Amino acid sequence: MAKETGGGGETPRAVVGRLSLYLRQLELLERAGAATVSSRQLGAALELSDAQVRKDLANFGQFGFRGIGYPVTPLRAAVRAVLGVDRKWRAAVIGAGNLGRALLGYRGFQERGFEICAVFDNDASVVGKKVRGREVWPMEKMREVVRRERVELALIAVPAEAAQSVATEAAAAGVAGILNFAPVTLKVEEAVNVVNVDLGLQLEQLVFQVHQRATEARQNTAG
């Protein structure tokens, strides 16, 4: 695998996002019974040039065959392996408020092999109680519980003003990655990866579609 130049080791969001989209597309193709797919077909679904698809997929080995395309099942397995989602991952939710409870109940995580095995909060009224079937631990127990439960990922669902301190705690406890829902930029030690969930960006995607549709409708009326 190509080394990143310039420290930080941060993988650009766009590439990772594209790999996940390739994976979704390959899953659809596999379910539909397709044996092979061309870079042009894959690109068309994601509005990327075939050259960009070949470049992206060439990053992890020789898969395509000229005139035949990519074999769907082996490519899907390869993308899963590259993404690292070919095994289960153990996660903790930090913050047992509204968002934390929503995450605990989110079915999509389990379907994709993510297991939420710990919940933390600092509110005495919930600590020690069960939320969605899981015991809520106090924040002070984070190191102990993260080690015992072999937690690898932390989902930060606390208010913006508390996010940095719990991120620091989670990093110190030994998690390797943080999914941050708080709209703040976290500073954690180099070895811990952070992905921010930007709900504003998702809403922006929707607005674009609505806006484009309205513009087209006006053009059609005017024409």
Hey, which residues between 27 and 46 contact its own copies (CB under 8 A)?
Answer: 45-46
What is the smallest separation between the CB atom of 215 and its own copies, expressed in angstroms?
7
What is the smallest separation between the CB atom of 24 and its own copies, expressed in angstroms?
8
36-37/70-71 β-pairing: antiparallel
122 exposure class (CB count in 10 Å sphere: 0-12, 13-18, 19+): middle
The reply to whether 174 sits near its own copies by the rule CB under 8 A is no
3-state DSSP assignment of residue 178: strand
Q: At what angle do helices 72-83 and 13-31 cross, to 10 degrees?
A: 140
Among 1, 32, 124, 222, binds its own copies (CB under 8 A): 1
3-state DSSP assignment of residue 163: helix
**Phi and psi based region of residue 54 (left: phi greater than 0; alpha: psi -120 to 50; beta: remaining):** alpha
The reply to whether 2 sits near its own copies by the rule CB under 8 A is no
DSSP β-bridge partners for residue 136: 119
Q: Residues 2, 59: contact at Cβ < 8 Å?
A: yes
The reply to whether 98 sits near its own copies by the rule CB under 8 A is yes
The reply to whether 3 sits near its own copies by the rule CB under 8 A is yes
The reply to whether 112 sits near its own copies by the rule CB under 8 A is yes
The region of 27-35, 61-69, 117-125, 173-181 touching its own copies under the rule CB under 8 A is: 173-181
134-138/114-121 β-pairing: parallel
The region of 27-35, 69-77, 149-157, 166-174 touching its own copies under the rule CB under 8 A is: 149-157
The region of 18-26, 64-72, 117-125, 134-142 touching its own copies under the rule CB under 8 A is: 18-26
Among 7, 31, 33, 111, binds its own copies (CB under 8 A): 111
The reply to whether 215 sits near its own copies by the rule CB under 8 A is yes
The reply to whether 214 sits near its own copies by the rule CB under 8 A is yes
The reply to whether 20 sits near its own copies by the rule CB under 8 A is yes
What is the smallest separation between the CB atom of 80 and its own copies, expressed in angstroms?
10
Inter-CA distances, 36 with 10, 21, 75, Å: 32, 17, 9
The reply to whether 222 sits near its own copies by the rule CB under 8 A is no
Among 17, 61, 74, 128, binds its own copies (CB under 8 A): 17
Contacts of 27 (CB under 8 A, 6+ apart): 76
